[in-house]
Amino acid sequence: MFARKTSPISIPIPRIEPERHPNVQNPPETEVNAPLDTHLPEAHGDQDLTRTSAEQLYEKLRLWWPNEEELLIVKSTRKDALVHAIKAAEFYMKAVREAKTPADRLRLQEKLGDVITLGEYLKASSVGQRIPPKQPRETTPRETVILLRSSKLKGNTFLPWKASHSAPEAFQLKASKRLFIDETPLPLSRVQLDNFAGWKRPADMFPPSTSPSSLEASHHPSLEISTGRDLVQDVTADCSVVASLCSAMRLFCRAEGSLLNEIMFPFDSQNNRLVAPENGKYIFRMNFNGCFRRVEIDDRLPASLTDRALFVTDRRNPTVIWPALMEKAYLKIRGGYDFPGSNSCTDLWVLTGWVPQQLFLQRDALNLDLEWNYIAEAFAQGNVIVTLGTGRISSTEEEATGLVGKHDYAVLELDPDPNRRQLLIKNPWRSGETWKELGSTSSAATGDELKTEGPAHLHDQTGTFWMSLADVTQHFESMYLNWNPALFRHRQDHHFVWNLSPRKNMSATIVHNPQYTMVAGENGCVWVLLARHFTDEETTIIRQRPRSSDDMHAENSPMGFISLYVLDSGGKRVQKLSRGVYSGPFVDSPQTLAKFEVEKGKAYTIVPVHDKLPLLSCTFTLSFFANGRLAVGPAEDGMRHYTEVPGAWARNTAGGNSGSTNYGTNPQFSITVAERTPLSLLLSTDHPDTAVHIDLVWADGKRVGPSLAIKDVLADSGAYVPGCALLDVPSVDAGTYTAVCSTFESGQHAEFSLRVGSASPHVVRPVPTEDAGRLRTQLAPFVFAENETRLRARLRVGRLTRMRVYVRSTTAPSAPHEVPRRSSTPLRAAIMSGRGPGEMVLAVSGEGEFTEPTAGLRTPEVDVEVGRAEGEGVWVVVERVGGNRRQETFQVEILGDGPVEVGGWEDVS
């Protein structure tokens, strides 16, 4: 999938650490007194215990009361080590009961938990099949409602999984002898309909010669799960699904411990095989919308009128249908066979529940060489599934390279040889186009030839080819990794509704984003997965977009983008994004994964963010994976009290930065606190190109004038930044302060919100403008003629009047959101008395300098006496400098505390 922002990603293979009791002060009675056998599955074989993990655990155990059984664990085979672990557990059970002090009891209980956990690992049967991470956290009632509401998709109800869903009676034929029919409509595309011959059961689809009646009724060749599968995609546009099935086939078809045992039912676990249900019903356990869910289908598949297949087929044995049944169950979730597209990461997350990660191979920050050893090791252990995705490729390049643009490929095998580092890749298409090695860098770089051998059931599959890691990074856009969640000992899922309704002037902030605090119980790596739930509205939006390909690789995703940020903010809610512990790429996939290192006992804030998600409300699940215990919960606000007030930079209030003579006209607010408190001020606007700033001034809540002295500024938000400025003051004394909200340039019009936070109660009030309560006297608009540079108009007053002059260009916008046009005529405005040699300046704008009146010119206030106005005469004078190449109209207003009479304009150039 396309990503617009990227950041470095590391892929350490997590170590398996022993589990501790959720509450060592009062552990459940069963954990202390129950026989150890109740905690341990059956042991298999005499494999040696992994020395690294055993030694780590031994170092941990020997700190308190070591006994002989513990000393023998490291040196023993898996089977013998298990015996010693059981005896050690019995020793600690007795020691817990006989402990003399509460402190001793707690430490012994913790050691008992470690030994029991180690025993559980010793009984794990094979590599890649480890005990799933435990989830001690209980789902809240609110989250339960979210999961139930997320069960509804396309008229179906996919309930959260229960063990009873796969009970044998679900597959028995009823007394009516009628086979199960799933009435759910599964739409077909136009091309599929042209080949469609109806929905048929396997017995009707294949000739009798291909289904020998002598075979057991419960086990047909159509359900065989041997490793010789060669799956291909034909008419159905689901390359990502078929690539996912091809890549996961080695785990589905393992001789022991097939993943199908956890996914597809009915399944004979004792004989590691699928079973044909009597009633034609199959039930799948699939992971989506926050949990594993029950998906049931019948065994009917879309038959074809031609030789084109409408479902995934095994080229070596077309009667094998269980992959097609799995495909059908998945497409039922996603809306039908007219599949709008996905990516393999998402598909495998649903099919297997394995944690998805997307690596962007074209990103400069990614060093795949450093990641390769981790990936290859996990692949060899059966702990990761790998697929690949191409980006946009021109038709000419497709023809030359043999690769298909915006297409997902399976990875069947990795060659970990450090001199070659190659991948066996499969194109899932029926036509099986393969890479033509055009532009290969492997031979030139290493002098080695591409590997051609491999397991026979892999290298001779349709559309397979070897490619070096260097060539993969050159020709593919994404590598998709799905990790075995059993790599971790602890997991927590948190489900939430994200209200995405626009909050006015808050688009540049994360004030209203869901945020979680996380504290790790020990140092190590933590993975956090953000997963968006599927909805009917999402499917409709995707189907309605114009598509030129069969997948979802698009630069303008109709579903928007999501990302995850991890901030070192003490676990408190944050108001504005900043570079933190982890800054994730923005992806158009429904899932995104954050992987980062944590320190024991340190609190972090996890923040989901989005860009252009089209729905007003979405449900998400945030999943945490770690090998140490985690404390996770909704993050709390950093302050107890918040006030949000609106404001605007308009015609008379867009004063610009503190270097502007109109700075004092900016919107200002008085902030009163009754006691010493930290203070937070957030200034935000929905105009992303408007650079904003906050000054907190010692002004007792009074208006700050045009000249701002540094000594008067208590604190400021730093440099002007687009869209959103944040000012955090660790502590202010009780009193009243003035906050000035400004844009960098004067005359920029926009609405904004000011959010004030404090630990103790506060009061926020707008500071009245200097012109508040003043009488406005408007002069006739004027335009300078070609030779005019100085105009004046006489003023008369009936009493002593305090006044100022305000001049603006009427080319500036009158609406708040219009972009102002800059005036091309520098002006100077003044209030003057007398004329000729006796002329005296009473007040002048810009300290006497000529300035552009984009945001208006103002003179200081001045008192005008009746006698002076009648005798010497008092005048408003407007002067310009330079030419007037375009006709520019100016408006002058007199703002005073009494009535003012104004004469006509006179040219006194």
> Which string of b and e fits 60-88 if b means at least 16 CB within 10 Å?
ebeeeeeeebbebbeebebeebbbbbbbb
Whether 907 and 790 have beta carbons less than 8 Å apart is answered as yes
450: CB partners within 8 A, 6+ apart: 420, 422, 437, 440, 442, 443, 466, 467, 468
Residue 524 corresponds to which tokens in the numbers above?
């190590």
CB atoms within 10 A of CB 621: 22
First-to-last alpha carbon distance for the chain, in angstroms, is: 68
Using CA atoms, how far apart are residues 529 and 623, in angstroms rounded to an integer? Answer: 5
Give the dihedral of Cα atoms 348, 349, 353, 358; nearest 10 deg: 100
400: CB partners within 8 A, 6+ apart: 436, 438
Can you give the length of the chain in residues?
Answer: 909
Coil, strand or helix: which one is 231? Answer: strand
Q: In 730-821, which ranges are continuous DSSP H helix?
A: none
Using CA atoms, how far apart are residues 738 and 757, in angstroms rounded to an integer? Answer: 15
Using CA atoms, how far apart are residues 651 and 455, in angstroms rounded to an integer? Answer: 76
Using CA atoms, how far apart are residues 132 and 11, in angstroms rounded to an integer? Answer: 20
> 495: closest CA among 536, 533, 539?
533
User: Phi and psi of 446, rounded to 5°?
Assistant: -120, -15
289, 427, 513, 627: which is the annotated catalytic residue? Answer: 427
Number of H helices and E strands in the chain, helices first, is 18, 48
Which residue is it, tokens 């031994």? 58
The amino acid present at 382, given as its one-letter code, is G
DSSP labels for 498-527? Answer: EE-PPPTT-TT--TTS--EEEEESSSEEEE
CB atoms within 10 A of CB 891: 17
523 is catalytic: no
Using CA atoms, how far apart are residues 18 and 627, in angstroms rounded to an integer? Answer: 8
The amino acid present at 145, given as its one-letter code, is V
CB atoms within 10 A of CB 833: 20
Residue 702 corresponds to which tokens in the numbers above?
């009074």
Coil, strand or helix: which one is 29? Answer: helix
User: Phi and psi of 727, rounded to 5°?
Assistant: -125, 115
Whether 481 and 357 have beta carbons less than 8 Å apart is answered as yes
CB atoms within 10 A of CB 449: 10
**What are the distances in angstroms from CA 765 to CA 9, 629, 700, 702, 862?**
47, 47, 12, 11, 28
Radius of gyration of the chain (CA): 37
∠ at Cα 768 (765, 773), nearest 5°?
140
383 is catalytic: no
Using CA atoms, how far apart are residues 58 and 76, in angstroms rounded to an integer? Answer: 13
427 is catalytic: yes
Coil, strand or helix: which one is 83? Answer: helix
84, 165, 220, 239: which is the annotated catalytic residue? Answer: 239
Sign (positive/negative) of CA torsion 49, 52, 53, 58? positive
21, 84, 407, 749: which is the annotated catalytic residue? Answer: 407
Q: Which secondary-structure segment (H or E) carries 809? A: strand 801-809
Residue 259 corresponds to which tokens in the numbers above?
């993943």
Using CA atoms, how far apart are residues 593 and 590, in angstroms rounded to an integer? Answer: 11
| Positions marked active-site | 239, 407, 427
